[in-house]
């Protein structure tokens, strides 16, 4: 419990640090939400200055940061100038789409990667291993972006999958089962892109940890006792290979999220990605910061979960 509290405090400080840095960098970037107005000859400089003062953009940085922190405490995450409302509800609404995509992709990728990696490790040194390595390398070298575009083209050409969106227009007329099917159908392509992007890395890591565990002297001694293959795998090898994989799990959550933002924009998925892009284009500072903080929270939460899981699984960490 003490360990969990300690990690939680770490996480909070990390988030604070990220927010301060984001604030600083955003402040360094030229222009703000009202910069475009200055180009319009009909709007006087006084009006722009008045608007900036009205929304508090002219206040010094520490004051603005403090105001923002206060807003975070209320769950509002600041005020979006483009959407003319608090950022919090916007984030919450879009977060659902991103979470659905990322969580599904993470599950699918890991469910595929673990058995593939184990199988791959047992094939070490055979032609199958070499062939598989080649295929994975090929997959790894295809950028997510290209993959997404190719998938989209195929979807449009074949008409098998919808080319964008999260649900059909006539959703309200469908039964719950059909609605679920509809969402799954819309999700298939973006999830496939994310999984294919992540899979090679995961499989290689699973394979490497498994090979290392197989070569460990204690695995050798278990074999000297005549251990059956499955018992060796589940009782000795997998637990030994698990630690780096749990850490990788936390990390993969974060990576998948940032990949997801990009894929969402290309494939028209109503998640944080398109919102983020719009916010940057409009220089909607609070909204940009909100999405950045959401991603960071997600990443930190993933790593925190991995740390706690490690703590539960490995007696050695508890001893320290």
Partner 1 sequence: MFNEEGPGEPLLSIRGLCKNFSPGAAALDSVNLQLDRGRTLGLVGPSGSGKSTLARCVTFFEKPTAGEILFEGRALWSLGNRERLRTRACIQLIFQEPAASLNPRFTAAEIIAEPLAIQNRGNRATRLERACRLMETVGLPPGAAAKPAPQFSGGERQRLAIARALALDPKLLILDESFSGLDLTLQAQITALLKDLRKRLGVTYILISHDLALVAGLADEIAVMDHGRIVEHADTAQLLAHPQHPRTRELIDAAMALELP
For residue 173, the 8-state DSSP code is G
Tokens representing 99 are 């979470």
**Complex with partner 1: residue 211 or 222, whichever CB lies closer:** 222
| Site membership for partner 1, residue 320 (CB under 8 A) | no
> Do residues 237 and 208 touch, judged by C-beta distance below 8 A?
no
Q: Determine which residue in the list 92, 128, 181, 231 makes contact with partner 1, applying CB under 8 A.
A: 231
Give the per-residue contact string, 211-230, with partner 1 (x = CB under 8 A; - = no).
-----xxx-xxxxxxxxx--
Does position 314 interact with partner 1 (CB under 8 A)? The reply is: yes
x/- letters, 179..218, toward partner 1 (CB under 8 A): -------------------------------------xxx
What's 49-73 look like in SS3?
HHHHHHCCCCCCHHHHHHHHHHHHH
Query: Shortest approach of partner 1 to residue 225 CB, angstroms?
Result: 4
Query: Measuring CA to CA, how many Å separate 212 from each of 79, 139, 167, 249, 305?
Result: 51, 24, 45, 18, 25
Tokens 């000859």 correspond to what residue? 41
CB of 247 to partner 1, least distance (A): 17
CB nearer to partner 1: give 35 or 215: 215
Give me the phi and psi of 160, to 5 degrees please: -75, -35
Q: Where are the beta strands (DSSP E) in the chain?
A: 79-80, 85-86
Binding segment for partner 1 (CB under 8 A), chosen from 100-108, 181-189, 203-211, 311-319, is 311-319
* Nearer residue to partner 1 within complex by CB, 114 or 227: 227
Length of the chain: 320
Stretch of 113-121, 234-242, 274-282, 292-300 lying at the interface with partner 1 (CB under 8 A): 234-242
> Could you tell me the two tokens for 168?
């059909």
Distance in angstroms (rounded) separating the CA atoms of residues 261 and 148: 12
Among 166, 236, 250, 271, binds partner 1 (CB under 8 A): 236
| Contact call for residues 182 and 95 (beta carbons, < 8 A) | no
Nearest CB to partner 1, comparing residues 30 and 226 = 226
Cα 316 from chain centroid (whole Å): 29
Of the pair 126, 221, the CB lying nearest partner 1 is at: 221
Closest to partner 1 by CB, 64 or 236: 236
End-to-end CA distance of the chain: 14
Q: Which of 90, 147, 175 is nearest to 267 (CA)?
A: 147
Closest distance to partner 1 from the beta carbon of 251 (Å):
23
Q: Which helix (H) or strand (E) holds 147?
A: helix 144-158
**Which of 116, 203, 240, 293 touches partner 1 (CB under 8 A)?**
240
Q: Which is nearer to partner 1, 54 or 221 (CB)?
A: 221
Q: Which two tokens stand for residue 272?
A: 């944080």
Binding status of residue 6 toward partner 1 by CB under 8 A: no
User: CB under 8 A: which stretch of 22-30, 52-60, 86-94, 233-241 binds partner 1?
Assistant: 233-241
Single out the residue of 130, 239, 258, 312 in contact with partner 1 (rule: CB under 8 A): 239
Which of 254, 291, 312 is CA-nearest to residue 7?
312
Q: How many residues bind partner 1 (CB under 8 A)?
A: 21
Which positions touch partner 1 (CB under 8 A)? 216-218, 220-228, 231, 235-236, 239-240, 314-316, 319
């Amino acid at each position: 419990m003490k360990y969990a509290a300690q990690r939680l405090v770490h996480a909070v400080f990390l988030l604070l640090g990220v927010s301060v840095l984001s604030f600083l960098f955003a402040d360094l970037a030229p222009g703000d939400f009202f910069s475009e107005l200055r180009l319009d000859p009909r709007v006087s400089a006084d009006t722009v200055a008045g608007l900036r003062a009205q929304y508090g953009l002219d206040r010094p940085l520490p004051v603005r940061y403090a105001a923002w922190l206060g807003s975070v405490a209320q769950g509002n995450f600041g005020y979006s100038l483009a959407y003319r409302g608090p950022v919090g509800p916007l984030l919450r609404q879009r977060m659902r789409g991103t979470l659905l995509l990322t969580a599904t992709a993470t599950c699918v990728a890991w469910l595929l990667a673990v058995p593939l990696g184990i199988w791959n490790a047992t094939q070490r040194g055979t032609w199958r291993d070499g062939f598989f390595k080649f295929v994975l390398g090929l997959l790894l070298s295809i950028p997510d972006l290209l993959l997404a575009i190719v998938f989209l083209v195929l979807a449009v050409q074949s008409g098998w999958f919808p080319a964008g969106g999260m649900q059909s227009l006539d959703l309200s007329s469908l039964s719950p089962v059909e609605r679920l099917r509809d969402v799954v159908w819309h999700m298939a392509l973006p999830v496939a892109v994310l999984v294919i992007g992540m899979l090679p890395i995961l499989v290689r890591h699973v394979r490497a940890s498994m090979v290392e565990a197989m070569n460990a002297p204690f695995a050798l001694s278990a074999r000297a006792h005549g251990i059956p293959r499955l018992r060796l795998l589940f009782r000795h090898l997998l637990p030994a290979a698990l630690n780096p994989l749990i850490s990788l799990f936390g990390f993969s959550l974060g990576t998948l999220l940032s990949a997801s933002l990009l894929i969402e924009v290309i494939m028209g998925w109503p998640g944080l990605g398109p919102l983020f892009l719009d916010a940057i284009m409009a220089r909607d500072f609070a909204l940009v910061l909100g999405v950045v903080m959401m991603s960071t929270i997600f990443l930190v939460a993933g790593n925190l979960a991995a740390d706690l899981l490690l703590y539960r699984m490995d007696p050695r960490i508890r001893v320290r």
